[in-house]
Chains A and B, each alone.
Chain A
Amino acid sequence: MNKQQTRTIKVETLARVEGEGALYVKLKGDQVQDVKLKIYEPPRFFEAGTSPNFPILWRASAEFVRSHIR
């Protein structure tokens, strides 16, 4: 392979990277010049449920589920 040859790899849809995403890689010879990873999966904010700032709704759903398992 030509050492100076530039190649780009574009993957428009990666099905399972924190949801859906896209990848762009640019190579010159065997050297990576640029990498871009884009996650376009919309956020769903589950992590907020683990935050003590939002105890009411988020935790509570889980608590309710627990409370009605005997």
Chain B
Amino acid sequence: MSSKIRRKPRIGVFKFASCDGCQLSLLDAEDELLGVARAIDIAYFPEASRAMLKGPYDIGLVEGSITTYHDAQRIQEVRRKCKTLITIGACATAGGIQALRNWKDVDEFIRVVYATPKYINTLKLSAPIAEHVPVDFELRGCPINKYQLIELIKATSAGRKPNVPTYSVCMECKRKGNVCIAVAQGIACLGPVTQAGCDALCPSYDRGCYGCYGPMESPNTASLSNQFHILGRDNAEITRAFRGFNAWAWQFRKAGEESERT
């Protein structure tokens, strides 16, 4: 055994435009959390602890998208303080559900939603973190899977590649022995173009996947759109199918816009 004691990695958790669901996955990892807590040093996690220790941090977990000028500045500072920067969830990796406004006039939204629009400070687009700073790893999902998060933290601490597959939800669905609901029931399912990680949650309950883990590594969206046509979906419905939590991920964005044009 090496006589050198390895220092526990210091972790910071940072929130941008988001719902907190992803960072709470870390707290939700009840049984595993004790083990995780022994292996890491949580230095900054305002949602969980009042101790807010200064950087630098070995691992920065970033939740949420960039939607304000102030946050666009803050993410630069967070990047400088973190050796490894990991984005967690659909908001941080793709702009989130709030990116639906990217196809609309945000000023109109402000007027509809807020009584005093001048108090509201926002950018025109909701953008993923990687559009602002370099990101070392993107963990998908809305919300993320806690087991994938733990695997990612362990792998990063140990300096190895995390075991987070990039194949489609269909792989998990087949592995579970599910009968395909798209084939058997004609339900429009985004499983073939969506990245695995949820253990095919929705199809296991007879619901179509709506793509919350974002595009898989090589999604054939054109073929799936065509299949949706065969199932009797029109172009407007297909556009909407791709406009969910990962609407701004370029593969889904392109697929949605293609159906919109035709």
Q: Measured between C-beta atoms, what is the minimum distance from B209 to chain A in Å? A: 9
Take A63-B240, A68-B208 as given contacts and tell me if A45 and B101 are in contact as well, using a CB distance cutoff of 8 Å: yes
Cβ proximity bits A50-70 to B, threshold 8 Å, 1 near / 0 not:
010110011011011101111
Query: Do the beta carbons of B17 and A44 come within 8 Å of each other?
Result: yes
Q: Count contacts on B: residues with CB < 8 A to the other chain.
A: 44
Known: A45-B101, A57-B243, A67-B188; 12 extra A-B contacts, CB below 8 A, are A13-B52, A15-B20, A15-B46, A42-B68, A42-B71, A42-B122, A44-B96, A47-B112, A48-B112, A60-B243, A64-B241, A69-B206
Q: Which residue of A lies closest to B120 (CB)?
A: A43
A30 contacts B by Cβ under 8 Å: no
Q: Which residue of B lies closest to A57 (CB)?
A: B100
Query: Do the beta carbons of B185 and A70 come within 8 Å of each other?
Result: yes
- Interchain CA distance A6-B262 in the complex, whole Å: 67
B98 contacts A by Cβ under 8 Å: yes
Query: Do the beta carbons of A61 and B109 come within 8 Å of each other?
Result: no
A-B contacts, 29 listed (Cβ < 8 Å): A13-B52, A15-B46, A16-B20, A42-B68, A43-B113, A44-B17, A44-B98, A44-B126, A45-B106, A45-B109, A46-B97, A48-B104, A48-B109, A54-B104, A54-B112, A57-B240, A60-B236, A60-B243, A61-B97, A61-B100, A61-B240, A63-B240, A64-B241, A65-B210, A68-B187, A68-B188, A69-B206, A69-B207, A69-B208
Q: Count contacts on A: residues with CB < 8 A to the other chain.
A: 28
B146 contacts A by Cβ under 8 Å: no
Within residues 125 to 179 of chain B, which ones have a CB less than 8 A from any CB in chain A? 126
Contact of A45 among B98, B207, B244 (CB under 8 A): B98
Q: Measured between C-beta atoms, what is the minimum distance from B229 to chain A in Å? A: 14
Contacts of B208 in A (CB 8 A): 68-69
Q: Measured between C-beta atoms, what is the minimum distance from A55 to chain B in Å? A: 11
Contacts of A16 in B (CB 8 A): 20
Q: Measured between C-beta atoms, what is the minimum distance from A52 to chain B in Å? A: 10
Query: Do the beta carbons of A64 and B237 come within 8 Å of each other?
Result: yes
Contacts of B71 in A (CB 8 A): 42
Contacts of A54 in B (CB 8 A): 104, 109, 112
Contacts of A51 in B (CB 8 A): 112-113
B79 contacts A by Cβ under 8 Å: no
Contacts of B64 in A (CB 8 A): 42
Within residues 64 to 111 of chain B, which ones have a CB less than 8 A from any CB in chain A? 64, 67-68, 70-71, 96-98, 100-101, 103-104, 106, 108-110
- Interchain CA distance A64-B239 in the complex, whole Å: 10
- Interchain CA distance A70-B241 in the complex, whole Å: 16
Take A42-B122, A61-B243 as given contacts and tell me if A70 and B206 are in contact as well, using a CB distance cutoff of 8 Å: yes
